[in-house]
């Protein structure tokens, strides 16, 4: 809820001014004939959560609810398990009603909403009863972020053409930066993800905002017009998903740029929402900017602490973020003000745009766009079984089992000491994972985790710098240290000829992954 509570932040003081309020009321019901209208024969659904973006109430035994609203609210139903949401022609879930009688500011470059008029007599939400299993897989994108129609085409051909062939998926979710500042491209993005044939949810990113906004509560006007609320929730199986806008704009520290954080009203919504969520459920919270500090003070500490306090009694939790254009795991513990017994796992997901559509062009004319830590562009499959989860990162355009990039010199002198190494970039790896190697089916030996720049990525970047003719495509960004890189000494005391290096990486879920390469020894 936005203008119901206008927030002015000076340091950490918050002043709340309450505008005039009205009452919205209606029913949550089983839409048996799928016409999005409540018929007398269609029964209401009891104990379903409905929110105005701040308060959360449960429907009564007849499916009836009431909530207060101000001049700028989005009323939405929190889908329970055992039901699906109706979809529009673009596979966007229809679970909200926007009440904005004054419309969006007319001075914005990209349009928001015109006046929605007075509240209707009843705001009803139809749900479709289905058999919903506790074991399912969801498709997750990080940062498509196209800046023009050409990059929309890269996104469609490089990612969507592949993911739309995947089977048995429940829904899709994009973790922000749906586009790159040009908000007119939201329509093209919607048309692209529609091809997946899945209900598709969206997180707002910093490149999806209205930069003309003078207050954070007004920075999402165009996003709301195109996608609905920026903070909401839904259930699927035994998992409870919470989508949150975690971008404070303008940055209250200097009124310039943005800062990672939450508005007080969002944290209040989260508290009210969790009141109706069983403690043994899996809580998945998706946002754009990671909670860990990427470079400097990138996320407001007080908001992170409040979030962790709200999750204290929920032992099964997963946080999903994007934004960085690299990939890593982070476990929030006491040093991050997470005081519960179990650390909270945050997975910073790799992006579908990779390194902003940079690098050489592949055979299809699409930029290779390897991310800054050497992770190839791709997407995530989130596998949920009851209140447990596993993660599968899929590299776009590669076989399913391509999970490790192994780098060695191509040729070395036999029996000569060398500073060269075997490197293994285990894309979804974490520092505690076990990574081993062997040469020519010999004994398995442990590799050492290091924090360095991926050497193969560095070579690729230097190709652009040292080539004497122009390479088609955009020069990649400068590499950053990789958090999932391992190395080992490469043996030269073997016979002359070709030798096979095999790497085995065991992930945090106990699954083993393999990759091989070869190098040659010469006299």
8-state DSSP, 158: I
**C-beta separation of 281 from 314 below 8 A:** yes
Which of 288, 91, 89, 84 minimizes the C-alpha distance to 206? 288
Longest dimension (CA), the chain: 87
Domains and CATH numbers, the chain: 131-395 (3.60.21.10), 404-522 (2.60.40.10)
For residue 20, the model assigns a pLDDT of 52
**C-beta separation of 407 from 456 below 8 A:** yes
DSSP 367-415: B----TTSPPSEEEEEEEETTEEEEEEEETTS-TT--EEEE--SEEETT
Task: Point out which residues pair with 140 in neighbouring strands.
Answer: 173, 380
CA pair distance 353, 95, nearest whole angstrom: 29
Q: Which pLDDT tens digits describe the chain residue by residue (523 residues)?
A: 443 333 333 333 333 333 456 999 999 999 999 898 999 899 999 999 999 999 999 999 999 999 999 999 999 999 999 999 999 999 999 999 999 999 999 889 999 999 999 999 999 999 999 988 999 999 999 999 999 999 999 999 999 999 999 999 999 999 999 999 999 999 999 999 999 999 999 999 999 999 999 999 999 999 999 999 999 999 999 999 999 999 999 999 999 899 999 999 999 999 999 999 999 999 999 999 999 987 889 999 999 999 999 999 999 999 999 999 999 999 999 999 999 988 999 999 999 999 999 999 999 999 999 999 999 999 999 999 999 999 999 999 999 999 999 999 999 999 999 999 999 999 999 999 999 999 999 999 999 999 999 999 999 999 999 988 888 889 999 999 999 999 999 999 999 999 999 999 999 999 999 999 999 999 9
**C-beta separation of 107 from 214 below 8 A:** no
- Compute the CA torsion angle 512, 513, 518, 519 (nearest 10 deg): -70
CA pair distance 242, 287, nearest whole angstrom: 9
């Amino acid at each position: 809820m936005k203008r119901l509570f206008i927030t002015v932040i000076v340091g950490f003081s918050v002043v709340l001014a309450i505008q005039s309020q009205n009452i919205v009321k209606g029913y949550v019901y089983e839409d048996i004939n799928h016409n999005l209208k409540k018929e007398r024969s269609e029964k209401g659904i009891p104990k379903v959560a409905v929110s105005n973006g701040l308060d959360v109430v449960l429907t009564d035994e007849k499916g009836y609810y009431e909530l207060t609203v101000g001049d700028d609210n989005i009323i939405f139903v929190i889908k329970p398990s055992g039901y699906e949401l109706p979809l529009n022609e673009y596979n966007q879930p229809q679970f909200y009603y926007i009440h904005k009688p004054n419309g969006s500011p007319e001075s914005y470059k990209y349009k928001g909403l015109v006046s929605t008029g007075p509240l209707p007599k009843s705001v009803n939400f139809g749900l479709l009863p289905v058999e919903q299993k506790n074991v399912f897989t969801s498709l997750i994108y990080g940062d498509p972020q196209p800046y023009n129609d050409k990059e929309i085409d890269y996104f469609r051909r490089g990612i969507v053409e592949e993911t739309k062939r995947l089977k048995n998926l429940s829904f899709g979710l994009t973790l922000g930066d749906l586009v790159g500042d040009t908000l007119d491209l939201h329509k093209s993005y919607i048309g692209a993800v529609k091809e997946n044939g899945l209900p598709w949810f969206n997180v707002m990113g910093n490149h999806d905002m209205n930069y003309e906004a003078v207050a954070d509560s007004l920075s999402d006007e165009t996003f709301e017009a195109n996608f609905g609320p920026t903070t909401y929730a839904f259930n699927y199986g035994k998992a409870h998903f919470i989508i949150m806008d975690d971008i404070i704009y303008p940055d209250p520290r200097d009124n310039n740029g943005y800062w990672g954080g939450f508005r007080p009203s969002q944290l209040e919504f989260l508290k009210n929402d969790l009141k109706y969520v069983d403690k043994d459920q899996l809580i998945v919270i998706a946002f754009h900017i990671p909670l860990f500090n990427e470079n400097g003070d990138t996320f407001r500490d007080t908001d992170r602490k409040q979030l962790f306090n709200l999750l204290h009694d929920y032992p099964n939790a997963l946080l999903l973020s994007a934004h960085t254009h690299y990939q890593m795991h982070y476990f929030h513990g006491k040093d991050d003000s997470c005081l519960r017994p179990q650390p909270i796992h945050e997975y910073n997901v790799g992006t579908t745009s990779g390194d902003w559509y940079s690098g050489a062009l592949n055979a299809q004319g699409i930029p290779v766009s390897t991310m800054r830590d050497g992770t190839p562009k791709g997407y995530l499959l989130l596998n949920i079984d009851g209140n447990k989860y596993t993660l599968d990162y899929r590299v776009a355009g590669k076989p399913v089992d391509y999970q490790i990039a192994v780098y060695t010199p191509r040729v070395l002198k036999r029996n000569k000491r060398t500073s060269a190494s075997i490197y293994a970039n285990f894309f979804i790896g974490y520092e505690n994972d076990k990574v081993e190697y062997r040469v020519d089916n010999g004994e398995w030996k442990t590799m050492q985790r290091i924090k360095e720049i991926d050497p193969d990525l560095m070579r690729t970047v230097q190709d652009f710098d040292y080539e004497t003719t122009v390479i088609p495509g955009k020069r990649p960004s400068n590499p950053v240290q990789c958090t999932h890189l391992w190395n080992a000494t490469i043996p030269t005391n073997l016979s002359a000829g070709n030798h096979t290096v095999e790497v085995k990486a065991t992930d945090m879920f106990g699954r083993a992954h393999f990759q091989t390469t070869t190098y040659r020894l010469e006299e």
